[in-house]
Structure 1
Amino acid sequence: MSYLKIDHAGKTFPASGGRENVVLQDVRLDIAKGEFVSVIGHSGCGKSTLLNMIAGLTETTSGGIILEGREVNAPGPDRAVVFQNHSLLPWLSVYDNVKMGVQKVFGRTKTKAERHDWIMQNLDLVQMGHAAHKRPGELSGGMKQRVGIARALAMEPKLLLLDEPFGALDALTRAHLQDAVMEIHARLGNTMIMITHDVDEAVLLADRIVMLTNGPAATVGEVLEVPLARPRDRIRLASHPDYVRAREAVLRFLYERHRFVEAAE
């Protein structure tokens, strides 16, 4: 049995004139425990909608999503989301932003001292322990995203869902955070699903890349295995034959889909 099963899942939204807008249709995917999966596709193909369905933030219209044998039909602490916008509460310190989730999940199972240690452990994991008492307004964009990742990890989720978490960052900061996510994944062995537009990011981070067809009624077009050993070094991989082949395969898929869009216009 797969750890996460997306079983013929679809999503339809109401449109004007009594019509329906079919965003996703018959999405089928099995994800193993501890796997890192990147989801890529053209804008408007429903990538974020799919992530929201897995998170329980959006209900499926058809089919279903099953996590460890239980249907996903509502949000829960077993699925934590890191958005492109860090969504930190500006009036709270870094420590208190993380503490909110910890209190909710572990308020009855950990002592106050244990909760404090757990908060600091997760901030240290993303190298933000030194900024525990700062407020978001005192942090750079990359530092805010590190806190957002710490907040998600502190809930000890079964799934960490990343919705283009580095999209608004400069190239150098993005690279540092990609390395941090790879280190966290290696250390914790948790299951991660990341939405991205960046082909190099998808190949660098993922065990598999799920490529969605264009919308409307998008579905899984191809699934590409990334046969690169871990840990991964971005400099050494740049010319690695398997890296180059994987990158070319994703670019080819996206390019062909773009041609289909142009032909339809």
Structure 2
Amino acid sequence: MSKHYLSIEHVEKYFERDGVSSHVLNQINLNVERGEYISIIGHSGCGKSTVLNIVAGLTDSSSGAVILDGREVRGPGPDRSLVFQNHSLLPWLTVQENVALAVDKVFKHTKSKAERREWTLHHLELVSMGHALHKRPNEISGGMKQRVGIARALAMEPKVLLLDEPFGALDALTRAHLQDEVMRIQSELHNTVMMITHDVDEAVLLSDRIVMMTNGPSATIGEILSIDLPRPRDRIALADDPRYNAYRHAVLSFLHEKQRKVEPLARRTAATPAPGAQRARA
């Protein structure tokens, strides 16, 4: 049994469609310690979301295993909360009711009604949404909706918080503010976090380690970069920090190298006529 808090061990994933098998993930191995913030980055189609969904228990691996706190993951569970790029709030419920729905589901038999209400309010305050308890999703901004989604996930008291590009649909200023909020919350709660991102600066700012994926098909972990920057982190101060810029350069170099390998293949594929194309022109 793994000694690490979260272990992804020899995970492979194949998808079958119309009798054709596609090898999506090839030998994914990753150990995560309690309280670590891990970012997964890579080009589109490299299987980042598939890795996250396997950890969440939403997708089965074709082989291999995910071990969390000594137990194998065999399906979804409240020990893993997932926050999507889309906030996924129920539009007919208020902010408070959206979070309370999850709290009541998880803590129905362990907390009293009053305790569950206090727990809900505490987590909404944690993300600075205590002022909007009785508003519905269509009455608040995109950034506020995402705060509620994060509050709902945290209120389930998960062992691992899974973030699937949680700031990707937000404007730059809102995204920066929410990144700072997530850093503050993690410093308070010491959550174990696994996040997918396409944003290099976001990955360096938030992470303890950055997992860089190779291109698909048969994507795997190409490199893992440890980010040795003291916390709390100040984005303004880090802008001129040579270590920050070295980490940023390392990730960009990895992604650029993978892109260079994709583009010639794409050009060759585009230049190759489809079966029967020459006969059609004749």
TM-score by length of 1: 0.99
Report the residue type matching 1:142 in the other structure. G
Report the residue type matching 1:90 in the other structure. P
Structure 1 vs Structure 2: percent identity of aligned residues?
A: 65
Match of 1:7 among 2, 6, 9: 9
Counterpart for residue 201 of structure 1: 202
Separation of aligned partners in 1, 2:29 and 2:141 = 38
Counterpart for residue 91 of structure 2: 90
Separation of aligned partners in 1, 2:179 and 2:168 = 11
Separation of aligned partners in 1, 2:25 and 2:164 = 17
Counterpart for residue 108 of structure 1: 109
Counterpart for residue 254 of structure 1: 255
Report the residue type matching 1:120 in the other structure. L
Counterpart for residue 185 of structure 2: 184
Q: Deviations over 1:2-24 (max 9, x none)?
A: 100000101110023x2201111
Aligned residue pair count:
264
Q: RMSD over aligned Cα, in angstroms?
A: 0.6
Report the residue type matching 1:109 in the other structure. T
- 1:263 to partner: Cα distance: 2.2
Structure 2: 5+ residue stretches without partners: 267-282
Within the alignment, does 1:50 sit opposite 2:51 as a pair? yes
Separation of aligned partners in 1, 2:20 and 2:82 = 31
SS in 1 for 2:205: helix
Report the residue type matching 1:47 in the other structure. K
Separation of aligned partners in 2, 1:263 and 1:34 = 41
Structure 1: 5+ residue stretches without partners: none
SS in 1 for 2:185: helix
Counterpart for residue 21 of structure 1: 22
Separation of aligned partners in 2, 1:174 and 1:262 = 30
TM-score by length of 2: 0.93
Separation of aligned partners in 1, 2:22 and 2:240 = 42
Separation of aligned partners in 2, 1:129 and 1:220 = 40
Instruction: List 4+ stretches of structure 1 deviating above 3 A.
Output: none
Q: Deviations over 1:100-154 (max 9, x none)?
A: 1101110111011100100000000000011011100000000000000000000
